Amino acid sequence: MEIIRAKTAGFCMGVSLALQKLDKAIADARGRRICTLGPIIHNPQVLADYEALGVHCVDSPDGLHAGDLVVIRAHGITRDVEEALRACGAEVLDATCPRVKKAQLSIRNATAQGATLLLFGEADHPEVRGLLSYACGPAHVFGNREELAALAPDPAGVYVLASQTTQDRGEFEHLEAALRERLPQLVVLSTICDATRERQQEALAIAHTVDAMVVVGGRQSGNTRRLASLSAQCGKETFHIEQAGELRAEDFAGRRRVGLTAGASTPRKLIDATEAWLKALA
Name the burial class of residue 105, with classes exposed (0-12), middle (13-18) and buried (19+) by CB atoms within 10 angstroms of its CB: exposed
How far is CA 223 from each of CA 125, 145, 256, rounded to the nearest angstrom?
Answer: 13, 22, 27
One-letter identity of residue 204: L
| Binder of ligand SF4 out of 25, 69, 74, 213 (CB under 6 A) | 74
Distance in Å, CB of 14 to ligand SF4, minimum: 2
Angle 264-269-271 from CA coordinates, rounded to 5°: 60
Q: 149 Cβ partners below 8 Å, 6+ apart?
A: none
Of 91, 87, 88, give the one whose Cα is nearest residue 69.
Answer: 91
Closest residue to ligand SF4, judged by C-beta, is 14
Instruction: Tell which one of 133, 164, 166, 261 touches ligand SF4 (CB under 6 A).
Output: 166
Minimum CB–partner distance for residue 212 and ligand SF4 (Å): 26
User: Is residue 99 part of the contact set for ligand SF4 (CB under 6 A)?
Assistant: yes
Residue 207 engages ligand SF4 in binding (rule: CB under 6 A): no
Nearer to ligand SF4, 133 or 191 (CB): 191
3 state SS of 214: strand
Residue 279 Cβ vs ligand SF4, minimum distance, rounded to whole Å = 29
**Least separation in angstroms between CB 197 and ligand SF4:** 10
How far are the Cα atoms of 51, 55, 157, 160 from residue 35, in angstroms, in the given order?
A: 10, 6, 43, 35
Question: Is 171 known to be catalytic?
Answer: no
- Among 9, 12, 228, 230, which residue interacts with ligand SF4 (rule: CB under 6 A)? 12
Query: Rounded distance, CA 201 to CA 98, Å?
Result: 23
Q: Does 161 bind ligand SF4 (CB under 6 A)?
A: no
Q: How many residues bind ligand SF4 (CB under 6 A)?
A: 14
**Is 200 one of the binding residues for ligand SF4 (CB under 6 A)?**
no
Q: Which is nearer to ligand SF4, 64 or 131 (CB)?
A: 131
Task: Please give the Cα distance from 61 to 86 (Å, whole number).
Answer: 9
95 part of the interface to ligand SF4, by CB under 6 A:
no
Sheet containing 139-142: give its strands across: 139-142, 116-120, 159-163, 186-188
Residue span 13-52 as binding mask against ligand SF4, x where in contact by CB under 6 A, dash where not:
xxx-------------------------------------
Among 22, 41, 97, 262, binds ligand SF4 (CB under 6 A): 97
> Residue 264, interface with ligand SF4 (CB under 6 A)?
yes
Cα–Cα nearest to 261, from 211, 205, 203, 221: 203
Q: Where are the beta strands (DSSP E) in 24-152?
A: 34-37, 56-58, 69-72, 91-94, 116-120, 139-142
- Active site residue ranges: 127
Residues near ligand SF4 (CB under 6 A) are 12-15, 74, 97, 99-100, 165-166, 193, 195-196, 264
